Amino acid sequence: MKIISTLLAVLFIFSNVVAQTYPVGSRTVTFTDASRNNRGVSTQLFYPAASAGANTALAGGNASFPVVVFGHGYLIGTGSYQWLADSLAKNGYIVALPSTEGGILPSHGQFGNDLSFLSRYIISLNDSANSFLYGRVINKAAVGGHSMGGGSSFLAAAQNNGSIAALFNFAAAETVPSATNAAASVSVPSLIFSGSGDCIAPPTVQQAMYNGLSCGCCKFYINITGALHCQFANNNAICATGQLFSGCNNASISNSTVFQKTTSLLLPFLDYYLKGICIRGNVFDNTYNTITGVTKERSCAAFPACGILPVTLVSFTGVVNNGQAKLSWRTATELNIRNYSVEKSPDGITFNTLSNTAPRGNSGQGADYNATDALPFGGASYYRLKIMDNDGSYRYSDVLKLATAVKSFAITALYPNPVADVLTVQLQSDKRQTIDFTITDITGRRMLTQSEVVEKGSASRGIICRTLSAGTYVLEYHAKDDPSIHGTFRIIKNK
């Protein structure tokens, strides 16, 4: 059992690290979406900066930051959301506020596409040497919005483009196409805010959207007592006029109270899902359980408890050699460590376990470790180290990205091997093509064949091996229309 005083001391230190803030920089950029006839998406960017102001440099050091894309309300300028942009940017987020679809007849569908596009494109700037964000963007984004932008954030998240890892919105309005219907296709954790005094997009609208979220992900609904529609957007005369004519312009709480209640939940929510800071999930739970002046609803239990892991990770590095990824890590101290898991991903978002390693270090001493990925993804592979304590708590290392050879087709995992019934083959293809699999015995005699049509992207296929006798076999593969795509693997069949 860990000493309580030590735990409290470490939590205090960690809370100070999490609370580190940055000056806020800003710049206006027009990004071009080539997939939509070179549509220009004018965007106000806010980011952690070396010094506050327009067009200042990104914050020094090597810290990377996730992306938040936020959509404005109907006829509401992006300046009305600077309260949110400042709050997020100073806490280590790159915030994008697109100003598109600001006219009297906006296209909600196009606005949703703008939000989705920005979530992908800004992340891609991590790999652009010409960008001021080069090498400093975490491969995760959240999409959000207010009113029309809130509804459009559902349209964006429903596209499941791989970049969006979380959804949030304020007083979301129904859109065309329907945001409520789109909610059923959203597959990421979601945090939905509404105001009980809102008569423009009343809470029944957001409740329906919340109810429509059916992915099984964690979802949260917060209805702020007395809050009006426009209190999520600061100092906007057009919005206030709309409230006045709708008969609901008298607020019982202040804008600052709405902002405080919102950010008290939003910041730990994003820290947990975008930055992977486990303890911020516990902060979210504590705030959710104790916040007053709201009605609330959630679909999942409390976040996992975060123990303090008594290990010092000195390094986690890797190189690609002869088509294989060679990974290594070093610890300085180890105590009560259960396991190290190397996890692998094609996109830096969805990870699967590559290997497990038992700890070798002693109390007060560390050790060196190695792992090999014989089947990395084509183009790039992402790796992270999961460090598990004996009490079940864990944390992750930073994500390591290794550039690998671009391939038209690659097998990226083969398991279980030895196999009893079904051999799972994970694969990656850059186009739709047919792959023929053949299993031969050690004399070259063909035992079985199987053809699979694979689509562009990553997928898994199962090869039925239960009819084979126990022994050693060779799995061969080749593309039906491309003789350059071929390879072999040794497999062992259990009894």
Both tokens assigned to 150? 């809130």
Give the position of tokens 């009006």: 228
Residue pLDDT, tens place only, 306-324: 655 556 778 889 999 888 8
Helices 108-124 and 148-157 meet at what angle, rounded to 10? 60
How confident is the model at residue 8, as a pLDDT?
A: 38
pLDDT in tens, the chain (495 residues): 333 333 333 344 344 344 468 999 999 999 999 999 999 999 999 999 999 999 999 999 888 999 999 999 999 999 999 999 999 999 999 999 999 999 999 999 999 999 999 999 999 999 999 999 999 999 999 999 999 999 999 999 999 899 999 999 999 999 999 999 999 999 999 999 999 999 999 999 999 999 999 888 899 999 999 999 999 998 788 888 888 888 888 889 999 999 999 999 999 999 999 998 888 888 899 899 999 999 999 998 888 766 555 567 788 899 998 888 999 998 877 777 888 999 988 877 777 888 899 888 765 567 889 999 988 888 888 898 888 877 666 777 878 888 887 777 888 888 888 998 898 888 888 889 999 999 999 888 999 899 999 888 888 889 988 889 999 999 999 888 888 888 888 889 887
Cα separation, 103 vs 298, whole angstroms: 36
Cα separation, 329 vs 312, whole angstroms: 11
How confident is the model at residue 299, as a pLDDT?
A: 92
DSSP-derived 3-state class of residue 199: coil
| Complete DSSP assignment for 97-123 | EE--S-SSS--HHHHHHHHHHHHHHHH
Q: Could you give the C-alpha distances from 275 to 1, 249, 365, in angstroms and in order?
A: 28, 38, 29
Asked if 230 contacts 240 with a C-beta cutoff of 8 angstroms, the reply is yes
Asked if 134 contacts 178 with a C-beta cutoff of 8 angstroms, the reply is no
Buried b (16+ CB within 10 A) or exposed e, 473-486: bebbbbbeeeeebe
The number of angstroms, rounded, from the C-alpha of 268 to the middle of its chain's C-alpha atoms is 14
Helices and strands in the chain: count of H runs, count of E runs: 9, 25
- State the pTM of this model: 0.63
Asked if 422 contacts 448 with a C-beta cutoff of 8 angstroms, the reply is no
How confident is the model at residue 10, as a pLDDT?
A: 39
How confident is the model at residue 362, as a pLDDT?
A: 63
Nearest to 132 by CA among 42, 58, 30, 29: 58
Cα separation, 124 vs 43, whole angstroms: 16
**Phi, psi (deg, nearest 5) at residue 302:** -60, 155
How confident is the model at residue 5, as a pLDDT?
A: 36
Residue 453, by phi and psi: left (phi above 0), alpha (psi -120 to 50) or beta?
beta
Residue pLDDT, tens place only, 36-93: 999 999 999 999 999 999 999 999 988 899 999 999 999 999 999 999 999 999 999 9
Q: What is the 3-state secondary structure (H, E, C) of 125-139?
A: HHHCCCCCCCCCEEE
Q: Given strand 53-54, what is the order of strands in its sheet? A: 53-54, 24-33, 39-48, 94-98, 65-71, 137-145, 164-170, 190-195, 219-224, 294-298
Cα separation, 299 vs 294, whole angstroms: 17
**Phi, psi (deg, nearest 5) at residue 151:** -60, -40
Cα separation, 190 vs 99, whole angstroms: 23
The residues that bridge with 474 in the sheet, in sequence order, are 440, 490
How confident is the model at residue 17, as a pLDDT?
A: 40
> In the chain, what are the domains?
4-298 (3.40.50.1820), 311-403 (2.60.40.10), 409-493 (2.60.40.2550)
DSSP-derived 3-state class of residue 78: helix
